[in-house]
Structure 1
Amino acid sequence: MDLINKWQSQAKEKAKENQNFLKRLKKSKQAGQIDRWVNEADEEVVSQVDCLSCANCCKTISPVVTQTDVKRIAKELRMKPTEVVEAYLLVDHEGDYVMKSQPCPFLGADNYCSIYEARPKACREYPHTQNRGFTKRPSLHYKNTLTCPIVFNVVEELKQKMLK
């Protein structure tokens, strides 16, 4: 809980600094090493953050939902894929399906996901700090520093590693 409180008070304060730092990483020749550092920091930070006490991602982000996700969600909800699309999704400006509403319609009052086993791939991979190619998506990670205490703290640890 402490990391969540710390994040909420510092994310906006350090927004420009983090945006610039992440942009500079895109040109780094140390991409493989950065991925290792990010993965290590992620493991450490994840062990200190209870996502269920935050759930800010589910409250504020509309994840991309693929056709495969739609089929999986439809099966879980015992609906037709077209019914899932009609009830829960819309097409965004990039032509992708995203949730119609925020918070996510599947987020319970207890911050549990009612379709957890069938959740979209984007939700399964969030906060994207275990994926390879961290340096290739600076704008995504910047946005996520403002959304997720894990990403914010991973970036803070990465800055410290890069200074050494």
Structure 2
Amino acid sequence: MLPVNLKDFDKKVAENKSKLRRFLTKVEKNPPRHLDKIADQINTEVWQEVDCLSCANCCKKMSPTFTSKDLKRISAHLNMTEEEFRDKWLEYDKKDKDWMNKTQPCQFLDLKTNMCSIYEVRPADCSGFPHLNKKKMVDYIHVHKQNIQYCPATYKMVEKLSERAAAGAKASRERKEREA
């Protein structure tokens, strides 16, 4: 497993983000057979290639949403009231009706180690990120469209899925040509 080079990653995203988003839109509208099984296989491959601790881009450029359960759990862990916790670190997004970090990178990220100081009680949004192994992938495509620009694992998953779809389409065309 190689460490993530964020400069190289940002360059790849700039070159391919639109193409990968268009691909995801096609998948969302017309999901291939066995999409969840294919995504599960790719998920396994991706985590053999991507080292989150060498990246932490999600913690540097995104904010999780904090549920009421998250607020209770994390504030108790920090020996604070929920109100103290919210006042110190969070802001309320009126549009989405979510509590989110005031600043980026995340206040709980140790920038030297890329480790979370509240990992054992981190928000549910963080513990599920990047949501690659959800049972019905088609329900998370809108999330993957956003996350490809932040998460090398999501980017790699969508890239691999696109490559497999292209290879499958090519094999299908060749089979039809042979039969004709």
In the superposition, the TM-score normalised over structure 1's length comes to 0.92
Note the 1:8-157 alignment, pairs <5 A.
8-30=10-32, 33-92=34-93, 93-109=95-111, 110-157=113-160
| Structure 1 residue 87: Cα displacement | 1.0
Q: Distance in 1 between matches of 2:144 and 2:46?
A: 15
CA contact (8 A) 1:7 1:153 kept: no
The superposition leaves residues 32-88 of structure 1 with CA deviations (integer Å, 9 ceiling, x where unpaired) of x21221221121111221111100000000111100000110121111111111111
Q: Which stretches of structure 1, 4 residues or more, deviate above 6 A after TM superposition?
A: none
CA contact (8 A) 2:3 2:55 kept: no
- Does residue 24 of structure 2 align to residue 4 of structure 1? no
- Does residue 167 of structure 2 align to residue 161 of structure 1? no
Larger Rg: 2
The 3 A distance-change label for structure 1 pair 107 and 29 is closer
CA contact (8 A) 1:66 1:97 kept: yes
SS of residue paired to 1:98: strand
Q: How many residues align?
A: 163
Percent of aligned positions with the same letter in both sequences? Answer: 35
| Structure 1 residue 3: Cα displacement | 7.1
Q: Which runs of 5+ in 1 are unaligned?
A: none
Query: Over aligned residue pairs, what C-alpha RMSD do you find?
Result: 1.7
CA contact (8 A) 2:3 2:54 kept: no
Q: Distance in 2 between matches of 1:39 and 1:141?
A: 14
